[in-house]
Structure 1
Amino acid sequence: MNMTKKFWKRLAVIVAIAMIIGLVGFANAFMGNPVSKMLAQNTAEEILKTKYKNKDYQINDVVYSFKDGYYHARISSPSSIDSKFNLSINMFGKLEYDNYASITDGYNTADRLNNEYRKLTDPILEKIMLKYKGDIYYGALEIRTKNSIDYESEDDDIPEYAMVQESLEVDKLYDIRKLGRSVGHIIIYVETDDISPKNAANILKYVREEFDEAGAPFRAIDLTLRHSKTETGSVPKGELNIINFNYDDIYKDDLVEKVKKADKEAKEYYAKLDKEKLEQEKEVDEK
């Protein structure tokens, strides 16, 4: 009897220890641990002292990401608005990735300018969408990497007016309205029972009027008209799509005809992509 009690006590202890180890492992996977965070902090400090010793970079914080299991030291410079990057460090304090290139390749500058353009366009679009129904609407600057432009395929849909990201100057204070005029892109989805070219033309005119009044230029606009949801939650088939419709074409006398042509071209483009996707899936299945 005593042996039986001892067995169950030992088993209970083993189970308890196993549960504790499991909980610790679970917590470490999702929240990290203080020892690994300290190692990451030390590694980040050492890298700033050696690799970036002539810079005024500072560590803002060190955070754990359960998505990749790394500790990310977020670095910035008090004297440079675009100088910020991350050091990704594993649980043993080894540097796995340094995205310092986000400064030199223009990514951070492009991101800053896009945020500035959003601040300019968001209030205008919110006002416009008080008149229409839809929850997708935003403005963006078409800034693409040189590599993506050089190796563009027909599927990439990169506008010909897109700006090269690498040409941006770090910390330069650009005229955001001037950039909007050359590479600003507005995207709007409207839910309506009237998906006619005439209705699309009227919406385009209203959008341009509001942007002109606010002094916020754009280069092109994507507009999608789709049917409103029915009482059952389904959406009737049929859409009107125009892609990269030029700002200068909005007030032309033949606007409705231009919308019809743009919608036809968009449908042909999407049909082509769908066909290519099906062919690729078929090839994969045959293999």
Structure 2
Amino acid sequence: MSISTRRMLKIGAALLAFTLIAGLLWFANGLVGNPLSHLLANRAAKRYVAATYPHLDLELEKARYDFKSGGYYVHVKSPTSVDTHFTLRLSPWGELSYDDYEHRVADRFNTLERITGEYRKAVETILDGDDFPYRSYISYGEIAPYYEHKEFGPQYGVVQEELVLDKAYDVMELGKTAGHIVLYIEDEPVTVERAAEILLDIRRIMDKEKISFYAIDFVLNRPREDGKPDVNGPRVNVQDFLYEDIYEEGLVERVAEADRTLNEYYAEQDAKHR
């Protein structure tokens, strides 16, 4: 083999190795980012927080890579304020692209999220408990936010922006005016009479367990032999059915009316989008 041939083979091998290394680096960068961009993101986040929130006691986590966007994000939180935590998003060059402090902290989204979590946990303890007498496939509770423009149902809930940062709320007291329960039950027969019976029992159970709520979304479906809910079969469906309306006298008629009204609303919405 001539010297020139050996030299060409060495050059080819070097180029192949370089290509493989570059490909691996490009692949790794797409998954975990690169050290320089991490450094730029961390520095930029520290400078931004120091300049924008000098009055707050804040701690910054290390920048993390978001492979979906190709950018970085930094979680920021206060060790002295349970509701003060937010996220910064930055480009690979350390430029800030988004700060959700206004939404999460100033507009009290975190506060609402915290009290909803407390309420949800209390509700799920009952609805998901071994003693709960019904088979459900969707069940949870929330402290409902107030919506100024609501297309269907009564207006109720807490005004998010009026919540007090870090305040220890009595969530069951809030539940009296803002508690919203969602419960999908599998049972037979699927009739308004059976739905009324179950709703009356749900109120009894919640009263016994001291779980307050203002309204409930309730669906009664027929169970299927394969263990899945028969979502395409007959159902009774009420939305934002008020706690104060769950009493025996005339309940069947109120459930029937609520089911009919909701079905009419769905039909109107479907017609608008055809």
Per the alignment, residue 240 of structure 1 pairs with 236
CA RMSD of aligned residues (A): 2.4
Per the alignment, residue 224 of structure 2 pairs with 229
Aligned pair count reads 271
* Cα distance, 1:100–1:14 mapped onto 2, change above 3 Å: same
Per the alignment, residue 58 of structure 2 pairs with 57
Q: What TM-score results when the alignment is normalised by the length of structure 2?
A: 0.89
AA partner of residue 223 (structure 2): S
* Cα distance, 1:11–1:262 mapped onto 2, change above 3 Å: farther
CA contact (8 A) 2:200 2:248 kept: no
2: distance between equivalents of 1:55 and 1:234? Answer: 50
* % identity of equivalent residues: 35
Matches within 5 A, 1:21-36: 21-36=22-37
Per the alignment, residue 284 of structure 1 pairs with none
Moved over 3 A (4+): 1-16, 230-236
CA contact (8 A) 1:40 1:62 kept: yes
Report the 3-state secondary structure (helix = DSSP H, G, I; strand = E; otherwise coil) of the residue aligned with 2:30: helix
1: distance between equivalents of 2:214 and 2:195? Answer: 18
2: distance between equivalents of 1:8 and 1:153? Answer: 73
Segment of structure 1 superposing worse, 247-256 or 1-10: 1-10
What's the CA shift string for 1:16-46, capped at 9, x where partnerless? 4333323322222222222211221111211
Of the three residues 198, 205, 217, the one matched with 1:203 is 198
Of the three residues 262, 269, 272, the one matched with 1:266 is 262
Q: What TM-score results when the alignment is normalised by the length of structure 1?
A: 0.85
CA contact (8 A) 1:30 1:66 kept: yes
Structure 2, unaligned runs of 5 or more = none
AA partner of residue 63 (structure 2): V
2: distance between equivalents of 1:89 and 1:231? Answer: 48
1: distance between equivalents of 2:109 and 2:17? Answer: 50
Per the alignment, residue 39 of structure 2 pairs with 38
Per the alignment, residue 74 of structure 2 pairs with 73
AA partner of residue 41 (structure 1): N
**How far is the alpha carbon of 1:143 from its aligned partner?**
0.8
Mapped pair 1:164 → 2:159: yes
Segment of structure 1 superposing worse, 43-52 or 177-186: 43-52
AA partner of residue 191 (structure 1): E
**How far is the alpha carbon of 1:252 from its aligned partner?**
3.5
* Cα distance, 1:67–1:159 mapped onto 2, change above 3 Å: farther
1: distance between equivalents of 2:248 and 2:47? Answer: 62
2: distance between equivalents of 1:66 and 1:159? Answer: 42
2: distance between equivalents of 1:232 and 1:137? Answer: 17
* Cα distance, 1:14–1:247 mapped onto 2, change above 3 Å: same
Of the three residues 269, 272, 277, the one matched with 2:273 is 277
CA contact (8 A) 1:142 1:159 kept: no
Of the three residues 106, 109, 121, the one matched with 2:108 is 106
AA partner of residue 198 (structure 1): E
CA contact (8 A) 1:133 1:192 kept: yes
Per the alignment, residue 122 of structure 1 pairs with 124
CA contact (8 A) 1:109 1:171 kept: yes
Per the alignment, residue 48 of structure 2 pairs with 47
**How far is the alpha carbon of 1:81 from its aligned partner?**
1.3
AA partner of residue 171 (structure 2): I
AA partner of residue 89 (structure 1): L
2: distance between equivalents of 1:9 and 1:264? Answer: 81
Structure 1, unaligned runs of 5 or more = 279-287
2: distance between equivalents of 1:269 and 1:11? Answer: 71
2: distance between equivalents of 1:268 and 1:65? Answer: 44
Per the alignment, residue 142 of structure 2 pairs with 140
Report the 3-state secondary structure (helix = DSSP H, G, I; strand = E; otherwise coil) of the residue aligned with 1:211: helix
CA contact (8 A) 2:186 2:229 kept: no
**How far is the alpha carbon of 1:142 from its aligned partner?**
1.1
* Cα distance, 1:31–1:229 mapped onto 2, change above 3 Å: farther
